[in-house]
Chains A and B, each alone.
Chain A
Amino acid sequence: MKKFDPGEAGSIISVTDKVRPVAIGMPVTSVHFLGDHAAFVGAEESVAMVSGQGEISRVSVHGGGILCAASDGSRIVMGGDDGKLAALDAKGEVTLISTDAKRRWIDNVALHPDGAVAWSAGKTAFVRSGRAEEKSFDVPSTVGGLAFAPKGLRLAVAHYNGVTLWFPNMVATAEVLEWAGSHLGVVFSPDNKFLVTAMHEPALHGWRLADNRHMRMTGYPGRVRSMSWSVGGKALATSGADAVIMWPFASKDGPMGKEPAMLAPLQARVSAVACHPKQDILAAGYSDGTILMVRLHDGAEILVRKNGSEPVSALAWNAKGTLLAFAAEDGDAGLLPL
Chain B
Amino acid sequence: MPDLTSQKIPVTVLTGYLGAGKTTLLNRILSENHGKKYAVIVNEFGEIGIDNDLIIGADEEVFEMNNGCVCCTVRGDLVRILDGLMKRKGKFDAIIVETTGLADPAPVAQTFFVDEDVQKNARLDAVVTVADAKWLSDRLKDAPEAKNQIAFADVIVLNKTDLVSKPELAEVEARIRAINPYARLHRTERCQVALADVLERGAFDLDRILEIEPEFLDAGDGHDHHDHDHHHGHDHHHDHSHGGLKHYHDEDMQSLSLRTDKPLDPNKFMPWLQNLVAIEGQKILRSKGILAFSDDDERYVFQGVHMMLEGDHQRAWKDGEPRESRLVFIGRELPEQTIRDGFESCITT
Contact = CB atoms under 8 A, between A and B. Distances in A.
Interface of A: 27, 29, 43-44, 64-67, 81-82, 104-105, 107, 122-123, 141-142, 144, 160, 180-182, 184, 199-201, 203, 222-223
A81 B116 contact: no
Contacts of B85: 65
A283 B149 CA distance: 49
A203 B57 CA distance: 29
A44 B89 CA distance: 10
A142 B66 contact: no
A81 to B, nearest CB: 6
Given A182-B76, A200-B63, A64 B116 contact: no
A67 B77 CA distance: 14
Interface in B56-80: 56-57, 59, 61, 63-67, 74, 76-77, 79-80
25 contacts: A27-B89, A43-B88, A44-B87, A64-B53, A65-B84, A65-B85, A67-B87, A81-B87, A81-B88, A105-B84, A107-B84, A122-B59, A141-B59, A141-B61, A144-B80, A160-B61, A181-B64, A181-B65, A182-B76, A184-B80, A199-B66, A200-B65, A201-B65, A201-B67, A223-B117
Contacts of A104: 57
B61 A142 contact: yes
A180 B64 contact: yes
B70 to A, nearest CB: 12
Interface string B92-133: 000000000000000000000001110000000000000000
Nearest to B81: A105
Interface in B283-329: none
B76 A200 contact: yes
B183 to A, nearest CB: 31
A200 B53 CA distance: 27
A65 B66 contact: no
Interface in B4-53: 53
Given A182-B63, A201-B66, 12 more contacts: A29-B87, A64-B88, A65-B88, A66-B87, A67-B87, A81-B87, A142-B59, A142-B77, A144-B80, A160-B61, A199-B66, A201-B65
B1 to A, nearest CB: 15
Contact of B59 (A66, A81, A123): A123
A180 B70 CA distance: 13
A141 B62 CA distance: 10
Nearest to B61: A141
A16 to B, nearest CB: 27
Chain B binding surface SS class:
mixed
A142 B76 contact: yes
Contacts of A223: 116-117
A142 B75 CA distance: 11
B346 to A, nearest CB: 31
Contacts of A81: 56, 84, 87-88
A107 B77 CA distance: 11
A180 B73 CA distance: 13
A32 to B, nearest CB: 17
Nearest to A66: B87
B65 A107 contact: no
Nearest to B84: A67
A104 B45 CA distance: 11
A184 B61 CA distance: 14
A104 B79 CA distance: 16
A142 B79 CA distance: 11
Contacts of A142: 59, 61, 76-77, 80
Nearest to B74: A200
Given A123-B59, A222-B116, A200 B79 contact: yes
Nearest to B67: A201
Contacts of B56: 81, 105
Nearest to A199: B66
Nearest to A29: B87
Interface in B227-269: none
B279 to A, nearest CB: 23
A67 B89 CA distance: 13
Nearest to A144: B80
Contacts of B61: 141-142, 160
Contacts of A65: 84-85, 87-88
A218 to B, nearest CB: 10
A141 B66 contact: no
Contacts of A27: 87, 89
Contacts of A181: 63-66
A31 B143 CA distance: 51
Contacts of A144: 80
Given A43-B87, A44-B87, A65-B87, A107 B80 contact: yes
Interface in B139-192: none
Nearest to A67: B84
A104 B55 CA distance: 11
A181 to B, nearest CB: 4
Nearest to B66: A181
A223 B81 CA distance: 17
B88 A44 contact: yes
A65 B80 CA distance: 13
Contacts of B79: 182, 200
B232 to A, nearest CB: 39
